[in-house]
Amino acid sequence: MSQMPFSIRNVCSQPMHLFSDMSLKRRMLFFFLPVPVVMLVIVFASTHNHVENTLQDSVAQKTFIQSHAVGYAVSQFLSETRNQIATLAAGSASLEELRMRLRRRMQALIQLGDMRFRETAFVGTGKEAHERYLWVMHDGQVHDIPAEQMDSLSNSPFSIVGMPKENEVQLSQPTEVVYPLDTDERNKPKMRISMQVMRFTTPVILSDGTFAGYLTLSIDLALLQKVIANFSIKTSYASEIPLVLFVDNKGWMIFQMRLDGSLTNMSLDAGRSGMQGDFGRPGFSHAFRPNGNHYGYWQMIRDITANKSGKFFTDERAWNDGPQTADTVSYAPITYMAGNDSGQTVVGGIVLLQPSFAELSQGRELKSIYCFAFVITLVLMLCTVLWVSYSLRRSLLQLKNDMDESSLKSTSTSLPDRAEPEELKELRQSANRILSMLRSLEDDRDKQDSLILARVQLEEAKDMPSNVEYPEDGLIGVSREINQLRQEIQRVAGSQMDVLVTGETGTGKELTSRAIHNLSDRRHGPFITINCGALDEALLMDTLFGHVKGAYTEAKTGRKGAFLTAEGGTLMLDEIGTASPKVQIALLRALSDRCIYPLGSDSKVPFNTRVIAATNADLQEEVAKGNFREDLYFRLAVVTIRTPVLRDRKVDIPYLIMAFLRQAVQESGRLRRIPGISKGALTRLMHYHWPGNVRELRNVVSSALSFCEGDLILPRHLRIGDQKRETADQAEENTQEKEILLPGGVEAEQPSHTNADEKENEMLSGADAAETVSEEKKAEAPDTSAAEDSSHTEHAHHAISDRLERILPELRKLGTFSRQEYQDLANVSMRTAQYDLQELVNAGFATKSGKGPSRRYTMQEQ
């Protein structure tokens, strides 16, 4: 017994321990949220039934109004049809005129697409008793029913029940009739059609007052269904649309349909669901009449025959024996007046079965509103509880966030001071002491890492190749790409076919072309390069194909052209993709016939020259755009070589660096050893993407050698990506490229030919007439020229070359000068003079005026 209180305390203390382990947020949710939720459930449950009953009454009233409107519309339609039939039957002078009027009316309705009257029948009386005909309208045609078939028809329109009086139109109950149409030779019908109609019968009174017989016209029950469908309602759910039943004055269900016009059939499956009764009345086999056990149904029929409309709920008066598929039943009578003097008679009724309210969109919307309100209220309460709990533990969260933020920084920083309880301030101070210790350790580690990294960056790269041997083809590198290029050059050099060399700027397309020439049987012949993008159309045509003396005004002497000048050698057409359509046509003809037609000459001149075309453009894309001839492309692309980009063969960068350094030291003329390259500088060079390829690498290495004063190139000596490049003389640049990449002296293998400047002067004689177009083209696209990979390519004109710097004072003394005066002063070729002057204008040192040979250049003030 003495241990009992201890056991009770243990049992009671377990919930307390669970509560003490809960967080503030869980405590608030556990104690304050359930009570409001229970209150919300009680409020919503108490108000839901009242609101639902109110909406249900409104829906029932709406259905009742719809049934009354539909019944009235059907009654009006029957009255209008009665008036039309009465008009057709009156006013004819003879039966033949009546027949013609009826025929014309039926044809007119067919043309209008109106199949309103399905039957037209006339039977004469008295002396006109022999006059009788029956027409059936089907499939846009009027069919005459033979006399021998009229008597054999069941439910024939001639079986008139009750003779209508004068000025009256009698309406029959819905009737079903089957007609045989299109009989064959043996008088057997080819097809049978079934009709469900209501017949209008009226006496025919001729214009002289003679009673001639009875006229019967029938309308299809489908017309009544169209009239009912005019009251359709739009809803997203087909189950919400009321079901419409058409009943006659005897309680027979005739047809059913949805109020939107769907479910139009005579089966009555949905309407008679859960009912028992009789199937098929005389004259209408699809009709259904419930038995007397369905009290609600027969009470409705009594109201309809008494010309009363109304509604009732199926929970008060059952509609069928099974589950009640309808919530509300609304009905209205259909009345008809045979004549002006006759009273209204009930011929049938319209019944609307409204689905259960719970299945309607209004019921679903009501439930959705309640659910939405409940969820919103619950969310608001939850947010309130969470906000209160958050405010209680805000100080702890602030401390946690400060510590997390400090841990994410690269260096540990002290936690900021906050307005918080004293206990948390002491905890914050303890954390700051720990962070201070960590910060000291991080500083020591960073210092050691920095020293190690700086030492490694300044160390010389030991694995750099030494004594790089220049191969016979001049291609430097050991990569798979450069070896594959060598193999392709070897194979192509042994053939005499024209070659297309493609590749990006700076990848060595001219070098490849020269290697093909040097390794071929034509190596003792000349190697001439023409830049198609640097010359306008007329000058390029003259440069390539030459002219005869007197071909134009300034043609004082004849000119052979590049094709004949390179006889026995190789002609390189650089930037072939920029050639104009006229030049392309001339090139295609020359390559196809291996003959040229100099300007002014009517005879063709054969040539023995190998053509190597080069381009940095995608010729296939240019062909697709219509800028380059497809036949010329296929003529040139028989043998295609693509020069690899430097970023795909970075393994060759160390070999290229050492070759460029050796060449730069030799050109400098100073006695100094070839400097080494640090690991940091080599890393930068290896990780750069090199958009300018080998040419850009050579410029970077040359620039680094200029900035390097010791025996080791450091990362700070590199100018990678700097667009301000010094522009060198084009001829000198070509010579340097030859000496670096093609050692062995290609020019020495051509002792019988003139030097480069003499060739240019010979090829460009008479070019003053085209100088304007060429220089304007260069001025319009200086950036494109800076990207061209050829012997006549310029760099971007942000600075001027050393030659211009030397000659600039003399140009200032002249003030204004022509191209020829500058050419004589600088002692350069015509093309170099054009490039220098354009560079001078782009740099802002001079302006140009005039065109052609009269163009003058004027120096600007400093």
Per-residue confidence (pLDDT) for residue 233, from 0 to 100: 67
Report whether pLDDT(153) > 70: yes
CB atoms closer than 10 angstroms to residue 860: 11
Across 318-340, average pLDDT: 83
Pair 117, 219: CB distance under 8 Å: yes
Confidence of residue 770 (pLDDT cuts 50, 70, 90): very low
Mean pLDDT (the chain, rounded): 79
Per-residue confidence (pLDDT) for residue 849, from 0 to 100: 85
Two structure tokens written together for 154: 């069941």
Confidence of residue 235 (pLDDT cuts 50, 70, 90): low
Torsion on CA atoms 233, 234, 235, 237, rounded to nearest 10: 80
Report whether pLDDT(198) > 50: yes
Report whether pLDDT(44) > 70: yes
User: Of the spans 386-390, 548-552, 613-617, 728-732, which averages the highest pLDDT?
Assistant: 613-617
Report whether pLDDT(745) > 50: no
Per-residue confidence (pLDDT) for residue 184, from 0 to 100: 61
Across 597-625, average pLDDT: 92
- Sequence-distant (6+) residues with CB within 8 A of 239 are 355, 359
Across 462-482, average pLDDT: 82
CA distance 61 to 834: 97
Report whether pLDDT(669) > 90: no
Per-residue confidence (pLDDT) for residue 777, from 0 to 100: 34
Per-residue confidence (pLDDT) for residue 568, from 0 to 100: 94
Per-residue confidence (pLDDT) for residue 729, from 0 to 100: 36
Report whether pLDDT(3) > 50: no
Report whether pLDDT(436) > 90: no
Pairing, β 243-248 against β 345-355? antiparallel
Pair 514, 526: CB distance under 8 Å: no
**Residue 761 or 855, more confident:** 855
**Residue 557 or 150, more confident:** 557
Confidence of residue 748 (pLDDT cuts 50, 70, 90): very low
Supply φ then ψ for residue 261, to 5 degrees. Answer: 100, -5
> For residue 378, how many C-alpha atoms fall within 13 Å in the half-sphere facing its CB?
13
Rounded to 5 degrees, what angle do the CA atoms 781, 784, 790 make? 125
831: nearest Cα among 802, 791, 803, 787:
791
Specify the range with the lowest mean pLDDT, choosing from 35-49, 194-208, 595-609: 35-49
**Residue 256 or 734, more confident:** 256
Pair 481, 694: CB distance under 8 Å: no
Report whether pLDDT(797) > 80: no
Supply φ then ψ for residue 631, to 5 degrees. Answer: -70, -35
Beta bridge partners of 500: 613, 640
552: nearest Cα among 602, 599, 597, 598:
599
User: Of the spans 308-322, 512-526, 770-784, which averages the highest pLDDT?
Assistant: 512-526
Report whether pLDDT(491) > 50: yes
**Residue 514 or 149, more confident:** 514
Pair 647, 689: CB distance under 8 Å: yes
Kindly state the helix (H) or strand (E) to which residue 673 belongs, with its residue range: none
Per-residue confidence (pLDDT) for residue 734, from 0 to 100: 38
Across 553-576, average pLDDT: 91
Q: How far is CA 129 from CA 43, 95, 123, 126, 154, in A?
A: 81, 12, 7, 5, 21
Two structure tokens written together for 225: 């269904």
Report whether pLDDT(558) > 90: no
Specify the range with the lowest mean pLDDT, choosing from 133-142, 243-252, 734-743: 734-743
CB atoms closer than 10 angstroms to residue 383: 10
Pair 470, 666: CB distance under 8 Å: no
**Residue 38 or 525, more confident:** 525
Report whether pLDDT(628) > 90: yes
Per-residue confidence (pLDDT) for residue 66, from 0 to 100: 85
Across 171-184, average pLDDT: 83
344: nearest Cα among 164, 70, 76:
76
Per-residue confidence (pLDDT) for residue 20, from 0 to 100: 56
Per-residue confidence (pLDDT) for residue 606, from 0 to 100: 94
Q: How far is CA 429 from CA 393, 401, 415, 418, 422, in A?
A: 19, 15, 8, 11, 11
Pair 322, 274: CB distance under 8 Å: yes
Two structure tokens written together for 605: 């001149």
Two structure tokens written together for 255: 């047809």
Q: Record the pTM.
A: 0.42
Per-residue confidence (pLDDT) for residue 364, from 0 to 100: 64
Across 355-383, average pLDDT: 71
For the chain, give percent helix, strand, coil, nearest 5: 50, 20, 35
Pair 498, 492: CB distance under 8 Å: no
Confidence of residue 8 (pLDDT cuts 50, 70, 90): very low
Confidence of residue 763 (pLDDT cuts 50, 70, 90): very low
> For residue 213, how many C-alpha atoms fall within 13 Å in the half-sphere facing its CB?
22
Specify the range with the lowest mean pLDDT, choosing from 92-96, 397-401, 409-413, 772-776: 772-776
CA distance 592 to 635: 8
Torsion on CA atoms 421, 427, 429, 433, rounded to nearest 10: -170
Per-residue confidence (pLDDT) for residue 862, from 0 to 100: 57
Kindly state the helix (H) or strand (E) to which residue 801 belongs, with its residue range: none
**Residue 746 or 42, more confident:** 42
Supply φ then ψ for residue 231, to 5 degrees. Answer: -100, 25
Pair 590, 605: CB distance under 8 Å: no
**Residue 364 or 808, more confident:** 808
Specify the range with the lowest mean pLDDT, choosing from 132-136, 276-280, 404-408, 775-779: 775-779
Across 564-590, average pLDDT: 94
Pair 329, 35: CB distance under 8 Å: no
Per-residue confidence (pLDDT) for residue 744, from 0 to 100: 31
192: amino acid identity, one letter: R
Per-residue confidence (pLDDT) for residue 809, from 0 to 100: 87
Per-residue confidence (pLDDT) for residue 401, from 0 to 100: 80
* CA quadruple 561, 565, 569, 570: dihedral sign: negative
Across 207-219, average pLDDT: 87
Specify the range with the lowest mean pLDDT, choosing from 254-268, 444-458, 590-604: 254-268
Pair 141, 110: CB distance under 8 Å: yes
How far is C-alpha 461 from the geometric centre of its chain's CA atoms?
Answer: 52
Confidence of residue 480 (pLDDT cuts 50, 70, 90): very high
What three-state secondary structure class fits 610? strand
CA distance 239 to 326: 11
CA distance 621 to 647: 23
Specify the range with the lowest mean pLDDT, choosing from 62-76, 433-447, 694-708: 433-447
Across 606-619, average pLDDT: 94
Report whether pLDDT(774) > 50: no
Q: What is the pLDDT of residues 653-665, one digit of tens each?
A: 999 998 888 888 8
Rounded to 5 degrees, what angle do the CA atoms 791, 797, 798 make? 140
Report whether pLDDT(519) > 50: yes
Confidence of residue 286 (pLDDT cuts 50, 70, 90): confident
Q: What is the pLDDT of residues 799-810, one digit of tens each?
A: 677 788 888 888
Kindly state the helix (H) or strand (E) to which residue 704 belongs, with its residue range: helix 693-707
CA distance 809 to 547: 40
Pair 788, 503: CB distance under 8 Å: no
Per-residue confidence (pLDDT) for residue 699, from 0 to 100: 92
* CA quadruple 529, 535, 537, 543: dihedral sign: negative
Residue 859 DSSP class: E
Confidence of residue 515 (pLDDT cuts 50, 70, 90): very high
Residue 845 DSSP class: S
Q: What is the pLDDT of residues 56-94, one digit of tens each?
A: 777 778 888 888 889 899 999 999 898 888 888 888 888
Confidence of residue 828 (pLDDT cuts 50, 70, 90): confident
Specify the range with the lowest mean pLDDT, choosing from 119-123, 226-230, 455-459: 455-459
Compute the residue count for the chain: 862
Report whether pLDDT(276) > 70: yes
Per-residue confidence (pLDDT) for residue 641, from 0 to 100: 95
Supply φ then ψ for residue 843, to 5 degrees. Answer: -80, -10
Report whether pLDDT(711) > 70: yes
CA distance 702 to 715: 14
